Structures are given as C-alpha cells and as structure tokens.
C-alpha cells in the first residue's frame, strides 16, 4: 500500500475509535501537500542540477524577486537596488518548499517591512524535492555551491561583516555547510541562525553534517519541534526554547495526521517567531538550566535577552520563554516570567 494511503488509513482508524460520534479529521485542502511533493523528483520547470540553484533578490515585494542562477550570481552586484555595503541576509528554505510558499513569503515580507537589508533567498527547491534521504545527502554539496557563490559576491565588494545566514530545517544545515566552506577560505560568517534545524539523519550525523556552534562567529538556534522534525538538543552557541522548544507549540492542533500540513505547525513556528522578531515583536527570554526550572521561576534573576534578529551576539547557553497561541506571539516580559 502506498505510504500516502497508509497514513490516511491510520488517521481514519485512530480518530474514529469512538463509535458514539462522527470522526473528525484535522485536515484542510493543503493537508497532504508536503507528502505529495515527496513524490515529485523536481518542481516543474526546474532541473536536478547544482547549476539550477537560484539566488532570488527581494527589493520591493515578495511576489516578483529578481532571479540569478547561482553560478551567475555576480550579476546581482550590478543591480541598482542592491547595495553591497548594506547588511545582507541570505535565507534558505527547508525540505519540499518553494519560494512561493508561506514560509518564504512571511520571512521576506518581514525583512522588507523592517528595511535596511539586502534580502536574498537561496532557492534550492530543485534539489529539495523528492525523497528526504536524497535531499539530506545533497545538503553539504548545496552548501558548498552556495559558499562559492557568496565568495564571489564578497570578492566583488559585498560586505562580509554585514552577512547573516538564516536557514529553516534542512536549509539550516545547508547554510551551516556554506559557513564552513567560507571559513575554510578565511571568510568567517559573523552570524548563522538555525530555525528548528532538521532532526532526521543529522542527530546522529548519518545523512549529513549538522549545523554547529563552530560554523560561524555567532550561531543562534530557535527550537520549536525538538525531537520531532527539529534538532533534539542544543546545537548553537545560544539556543532558544520557546514553550520548551517542543511540539505542540501553543495554538497548534493537539492531534494531527502524521506528515500533514497541520503536523508541521510546531516546526514552522520557528520562522513565524523569527518574522515577528523582525517586525517589532519583543520575544524576551532568560537563561536557565532547563524548562522545568524556568517555569518554576528559578531563573527570574537572570537578565532578559531577546530571541530573534535582535539577539546579542555575546550570548551563550540555553534560553527559555513562553509565547501566545497566535500572532502576535510575543508576551514581552510576561513570557519570561
């Protein structure tokens, strides 16, 4: 039986065991989108080739970014709206995602609203579709190819000191490889952020090398589905654990069909929190030994720190906070009590 049908059958049985009421499935028209994408080896119009990785530049809106093949990325430097001396963020999406998906649109829209950045997207969807194992095993090579592209930009005048790499899920590990490639050439990335770095195949490192605290000058990680789709333990220099960093995050359904759109809610909270930090959200946290100590109030003497884009680059350790169940997620100081 096809895995799609197996999951659907299990869901029907598990959620309709009470014969006194009609079964109610937490499903939508997008529910099986991620599963179906694993059946497609490559998105329409793309090719399974490293040369078909695309760097997209967002300068005015999130629907029509300028696109550059990764090996022709130096042409970006001639674009009038691109300022090499301005801070630059390079965002990398996760497994089976497209640049038109909500995750990318939410993050890029938040950066546009904040202003002051060159906003680039690493669109590697041509190698992030199909079987997860294959995509995971390509992570290092994609990261190296991206490192070469960034190196060309730096040699062409891009300010390395203003570079910030931000990756979600598998994209976090891709940019970890990018940072390592650059570091090996004495180009140390100032900041690398992992948004719930992908767990399967990376902890332990069976399919690829995971993002780590040594990859950049400052590595911060936001955990929202630890031990599920996300990394199970601390992996950065500063690790943030909103709501213990695990599923189910507040506002996510307590019962979901495995691998459906709804099942990724906690994993995707990481980029939602990140976007809110860009648009003014005060996601305040405190350093603590563990979440239990945090909720018992045993760390209230620790100073308040920011989770998100405003995180201090001198931070180290594990930081905890609580959030609201829906946007705006920030609870301010209440979230760190």
What is the Cα–Cα distance from 33 to 132, expressed in whole angstroms?
15
What is the Cα–Cα distance from 267 to 134, expressed in whole angstroms?
21
Q: Would the pLDDT of 104 be above 60?
A: yes
Region of residue 169 (phi > 0: left; psi between -120 and 50: alpha; otherwise: beta): left
In this prediction, what percent of the chain has a pLDDT beyond 70? 93
- Tell me which residue of 64, 105, 106, 96 sits closest to 81, measured CA to CA: 64
Please give the structure tokens belonging to residue 106.
């939410």
| C-alpha distances in Å from residue 169, one per residue of 110, 129, 295, 310, 316 | 19, 14, 27, 21, 21
For the chain, the domains span 40-336
Q: What is the pLDDT of residue 25?
A: 62
Mean pLDDT of 246-273: 95
Q: Would the pLDDT of 72 be above 70?
A: yes
Per-residue DSSP letters for 95-114?
TT--TTSHHHHHHHHHHHHH
pLDDT (tens digit per residue) in 189-234: 999 999 999 999 999 999 999 999 999 999 999 999 999 999 999 9
What is the Cα–Cα distance from 244 to 239, expressed in whole angstroms?
11
What is the Cα–Cα distance from 91 to 112, expressed in whole angstroms?
13
Mean pLDDT of 161-175: 98
- Tell me which residue of 250, 252, 246 sits closest to 265, measured CA to CA: 252
Q: What is the pLDDT of residue 10?
A: 38
**pLDDT, mean over the chain:** 92
pLDDT (tens digit per residue) in 21-56: 343 467 888 899 999 999 999 999 999 999 999 999
Mean pLDDT of 143-158: 98
What is the Cα–Cα distance from 293 to 311, expressed in whole angstroms?
22
| C-alpha distances in Å from residue 248, one per residue of 118, 167, 235, 253, 257 | 34, 21, 21, 7, 13
Q: 212, 235 in Cβ contact below 8 A? A: yes
Q: What is the pLDDT of residue 189?
A: 98
What is the Cα–Cα distance from 281 to 56, expressed in whole angstroms?
26
The answer to which of 42-46, 192-196, 253-257, 267-271 has the lowest mean pLDDT is: 253-257
pTM: 0.92
Q: Would the pLDDT of 259 be above 60?
A: yes
Q: What is the pLDDT of residue 307?
A: 98
Q: Would the pLDDT of 15 be above 60?
A: no
Sort 47 into a burial class: Cβ within 10 Å, 0-12 / 13-18 / 19+: exposed
Higher pLDDT, 256 or 149: 149
- Please tell us whether the domain made up of 40-336 is placed in CATH 1.10.357.10: no
Q: What is the pLDDT of residue 206?
A: 97
């Amino acid at each position: 039986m096809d895995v799609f049908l197996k999951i659907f059958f299990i869901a029907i049985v598990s959620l309709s065991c009470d014969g006194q009421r009609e079964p109610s499935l937490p499903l939508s028209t997008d529910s099986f989108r991620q599963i179906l994408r694993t059946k497609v080896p490559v998105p329409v119009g793309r090719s399974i080739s490293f040369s078909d990785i695309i760097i997209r530049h967002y300068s005015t809106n999130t629907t029509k970014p300028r696109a550059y093949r990764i090996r022709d990325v130096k042409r970006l430097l001639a674009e009038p709206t691109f300022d090499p001396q301005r801070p630059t963020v390079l965002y990398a999406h996760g497994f089976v995602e497209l640049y038109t998906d909500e995750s990318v649109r939410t993050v890029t829209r938040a950066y546009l609203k904040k202003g002051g950045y060159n906003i680039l997207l690493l669109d590697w969807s041509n190698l992030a579709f199909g079987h997860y194992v294959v995509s995971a095993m390509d992570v290092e090579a994609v990261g190296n190819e991206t490192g070469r592209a960034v190196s060309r930009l730096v040699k062409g005048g891009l300010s390395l000191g203003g570079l910030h790499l931000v990756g979600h899920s598998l994209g976090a590990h891709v940019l970890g490889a990018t940072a390592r490639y650059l570091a090996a050439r004495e180009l140390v990335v100032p900041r690398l952020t992992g948004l719930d770095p992908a767990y399967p195949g990376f902890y332990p490192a069976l399919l690829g090398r995971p993002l780590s605290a040594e990859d950049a000058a400052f590595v911060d990680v936001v955990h929202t589905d630890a031990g599920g789709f996300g990394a199970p333990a601390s992996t950065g220099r500063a690790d943030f654990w909103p709501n213990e960093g695990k599923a189910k995050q507040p506002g996510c359904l307590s019962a979901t069909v495995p691998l459906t759109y709804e099942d990724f809610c906690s994993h995707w909270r990481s980029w939602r929190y990140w976007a809110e930090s860009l648009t003014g959200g005060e996601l305040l946290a405190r350093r603590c030994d563990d979440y239990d100590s945090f909720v018992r109030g045993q760390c209230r003497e620790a100073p308040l720190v920011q989770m998100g884009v405003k995180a201090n680059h001198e931070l180290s350790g594990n930081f905890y906070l609580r959030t609201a169940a829906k946007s705006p997620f920030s609870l301010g100081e209440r979230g760190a009590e």
